[in-house]
Amino acid sequence: MQERFDRLVQLNCKSFPNSKCVTLLVSKEEGQLHDIVIALFQERYNPVRLCEFLLENCIEPLILKPVGVECNENAEAGTYVQLSLSYSTKESGMASGTSTQLRPNYKQVLEHFRLLLQTLSGINHSLSSSQHVFSIIGDHVKDRMMHLLVNDCLIPAVPETMEEYQASTLCEDVAHFEQYLADSFLINPEVDRGLSQFIEQYETYYRNRLCSRVLESTREIIQRDLQDMVLVAPNNQAMDVTGCDPFLFPRCMVSRSAQDFMKLMERIMRQPTEKPGEDEADPLAGVIGMMLQTYIDEVPKVHKKLLESIPQQSVLFHNNCMYFTHWVAQNANKGIESFPALVKTLQATGTMHFRVQVTYQTSILMDIMESFEFESPHTLGTGPLKLVRQCLRQLELLKNVWQNVLPDNVYNSTFVELLHAFINELVRHIFTQRDISATMASDLSDLIDVVLEKAPKLFRDPHEVHQVRSWMKLQQLKTMMNASLKEITELWCKGAGPLTANYKADEIRYLIRALFQDTDRRAKAITQIM
């Protein structure tokens, strides 16, 4: 009986060095095939060999490989239905990580499965009220088949983009295919729920793949050079931003990669988010937050050395963070999760890295000024002037890389801070001198003149220099270097004069003692400084 079955159902496999050809021939003599199948299976026929052949040579390849499929319904002079499968047996593509490129389209897989089952449908007879031949075959192959179908065919076919998602019919196709398998008795859909569970988890699969794709794009953008920059908001001048409309983003430079990053976020925000059911999660929920958090976490790691060593890098990262902060605030009503926390984190991160650089630049100025020494008790010498000019050159270099990059208000406030630190240090060194001769006073006046002349040029508007808290103090110090004892006491004016805005009484008394010889007039003047 087995021989008669093997004549009616012929399963052949030819192996070649790099390929395999499988042929299924099923007789079209329905009556004879029916009698043989019923008799064979009622004699407790063991279908393991048949099932192993189908699983190994037909089912697994149809899912995992591109397979050439030919169906001939009139083979052997019209007496057989023939299905031929041909496929490569080379594993090099999968081993080298290119299996994704070789994976067949899921629609093709499902269609080929239908052809396989249609070819074998001649043996799918009812053995009892609750059992068909395919249900017996299914008991042997369905677990492996369903696992491969879901994990190696359907999950990889889940869309990665909103465009693909909108166009996809994957769920409908799987539902129809599941019904086809159930109608063929290969599975019991109430028990074998692999395909139903895939449909139920489809939105989760989609969201995970979308997030993975977005995260991949995010990380690619993060790797790009921060120094490749572009001007944004070119028409938003400082007075417009701070005065007319505080919600405008100021004119500045940002990394070109930041623009690309924003375009990616905007593309996501533009995607339709209609949900099939009220209880289903928005597939885009949290994606923007995930992207920005990745940016915040990864940029300082990826660009660590450059952020620390190149002043312009930290400025650009600061601008990028503020650029994103502004964008998040503009889109606050569009459902961005954790909006307040994102804004706070972006601002804090950008500011922190910028402040590290400002502190470092301040330390450079302080290191230069640390060598500030007078040549002798009576002569200034050339050293102090060289150090002052070196500090001013350092600030000039910083101006060249920051002025056209930072927003005007940030640039101005930063240089006000740097100049204040530098001038304070200069004044402090001058106040360490116990005895200042007339010659040295003249030299110090000239030295201060260099700062008074050069510092305003660090700003687009030279008048911005008056925002430096120690600026007036320096001007007054120059005045006192050239003033008489009487003029200094008049400038103090018993604690009501202009000097009181920047100097304490003991500082003025100290300076009088350094500038003027010990006389009754000096003693009298000192008593007036209270």
Query: Per-residue pLDDT tens for 199-232?
Result: 999 998 998 888 888 899 999 999 999 999 999 9
CA separation, residue 491 to residues 113, 447, 461, 484 (Å): 100, 22, 29, 11
DSSP type of residue 189: T
Tokens 């004699």 locate to: 43
> Residue 451: its pLDDT value, please?
98
Residue 101 has pLDDT above 70, yes or no: no
Tokens 């002569």 locate to: 379
Q: How far is CA 1 from the centre of its chain?
A: 67
Q: Which residues of 39-62 are buried (b: 16+ CB within 10 A; e: fewer)?
A: ebbeeebebeebbebbbebbbbbb
Structure tokens at 280: 């289903």
Confidence of residue 274 (pLDDT cuts 50, 70, 90): low
Give the mean model confidence (pLDDT) for residues 290-319: 94
Residue 275 has pLDDT above 90, yes or no: no
* Rounded distance between C-alpha atoms, residue 226 and residue 254, angstroms: 8
Average pLDDT, the chain: 90
> Residue 61: its pLDDT value, please?
95
Q: What is the pLDDT of residues 57-94, one digit of tens each?
A: 999 999 999 999 999 998 888 899 999 999 998 874 44
Residue 99 has pLDDT above 80, yes or no: no
Residue 271 has pLDDT above 90, yes or no: no
Torsion of CA 231, 232, 235, 237, to 10 degrees: -90
> Residue 331: its pLDDT value, please?
84
Residue 250 has pLDDT above 70, yes or no: yes
Q: Provide the residue ranges of all domains of the chain, joining segments of one domain with +.
A: 2-200, 209-272+281-345, 358-528
Torsion of CA 339, 340, 344, 347, to 10 degrees: 50
Confidence of residue 267 (pLDDT cuts 50, 70, 90): confident
- From 3.40.30.10, 3.30.1330.10, 3.60.21.10, 1.10.357.150, which CATH number describes the 358-528 domain? 1.10.357.150
* Rounded distance between C-alpha atoms, residue 446 and residue 443, angstroms: 5
Residue 115 has pLDDT above 50, yes or no: yes
Percent of the chain with pLDDT over 70: 93
Contacts of 452 (CB under 8 A, 6+ apart): 474, 475, 478
Q: What is the pLDDT of residues 345-393, one digit of tens each?
A: 999 999 999 999 999 999 999 999 999 888 777 788 889 999 999 999 9
Q: What is the pLDDT of residues 311-340, one digit of tens each?
A: 999 999 999 999 999 999 888 777 676 678
Give the mean model confidence (pLDDT) for residues 164-175: 94
Confidence of residue 272 (pLDDT cuts 50, 70, 90): low
> Residue 285: its pLDDT value, please?
63
Residue 100 has pLDDT above 60, yes or no: no
CA separation, residue 453 to residues 289, 389, 392, 475 (Å): 49, 11, 11, 11
Residue 114 has pLDDT above 70, yes or no: yes
Q: Within 10 A of 276 (CB to CB), how many other CB atoms are there? A: 9
CA separation, residue 512 to residues 337, 472, 515 (Å): 64, 19, 5
> Residue 242: its pLDDT value, please?
59
Percent of the chain with pLDDT over 90: 69
CA separation, residue 46 to residues 26, 52, 139, 276 (Å): 19, 11, 12, 46
Confidence of residue 98 (pLDDT cuts 50, 70, 90): very low
Q: Give kind and range of the element (H or E) at residue 524.
A: helix 520-528
> Residue 93: its pLDDT value, please?
46
Q: What is the pLDDT of residues 406-434, one digit of tens each?
A: 999 999 999 999 999 999 999 999 999 98
Q: What is the pLDDT of residues 24-58, one digit of tens each?
A: 999 998 889 899 989 888 777 788 999 999 999 99
pTM of the predicted protein model: 0.77
3-class DSSP state of 376: coil
Dihedral sign, Cα of residue 230, residue 233, residue 236, residue 242: negative
> Residue 246: its pLDDT value, please?
55
> Residue 283: its pLDDT value, please?
55
Q: Which residues of 437-448 are buried (b: 16+ CB within 10 A; e: fewer)?
A: beebbebbeebb
> Residue 94: its pLDDT value, please?
44
Alpha helix (H) ranges present in 370-458? 383-402, 408-430, 438-454
> Residue 234: its pLDDT value, please?
81
Alpha helix (H) ranges present in 86-132? 92-95, 99-102, 106-120
